[in-house]
Amino acid sequence: MAASCAEKPQVTGQVLFKQTYPSGHLETIISLVGFSESDNQARAIHIHEFGDLSNGCDATGGHFNPMNVSHPGHPGDFGNFTPKKGKIKKHRKNIKATMFGPNSILSRAIVIHEQQDDLGEGGNPASLINGNAGKRLACCVIGIDIFKIAQSKHFFYLFSSVKQ
């Protein structure tokens, strides 16, 4: 299944996910390019509720929060990432989200925001919902990479290709 992607400045790349079994830990590899070489603004990356890109990144809804907990404790929170030389390249383990069951991240959106996440410490109601992360710069829908599944005996992969 191909990832459907949209929007703003010139950020492109992939976000790969790996989870070996339903109760296992989710890992992600984030590889994004297209930030200004001089850009050192940390960017929040979140999973959003919907994989709807009909109105660009604005149609993806709020942060994915199936347990309705205050920010930053929900599965949609990936944290902040600072570009280096125009790129974000990170590997994270023990992500709170899952690829399995009713709270799966499959078919939801990944959104890269213009600002860093204040981790719920911004002192206003929005901080506890979205971390005051600002506008949505780029987004894409999480889909299954059938080719990777066929090649692997041990892992399932979800992927998202972020495109402008």
Q: What angle do CA 51, 53, 56 make, to 5 degrees?
A: 140
Task: Look at residue 44 in the predicted model and tell me its pLDDT.
Answer: 93
Domains of the chain: 5-159 (2.60.40.200)
* Catalytic residue of the set 43, 52, 108, 113: 113
Asked if 136 is an active-site residue, the reply is: yes
Asked if 91 is an active-site residue, the reply is: no
Asked if 154 is an active-site residue, the reply is: no
More confident residue, 124 or 2: 124
Structure confidence by residue, pLDDT tens digits, 84-135: 999 999 999 888 899 899 999 999 999 999 999 988 888 888 888 888 999 9
Ramachandran angles phi, psi of 119, nearest 5°: 60, 35
* Catalytic residue of the set 52, 77, 118, 145: 77
Asked if 25 is an active-site residue, the reply is: no
Asked if residue 150 has pLDDT above 60, the reply is no
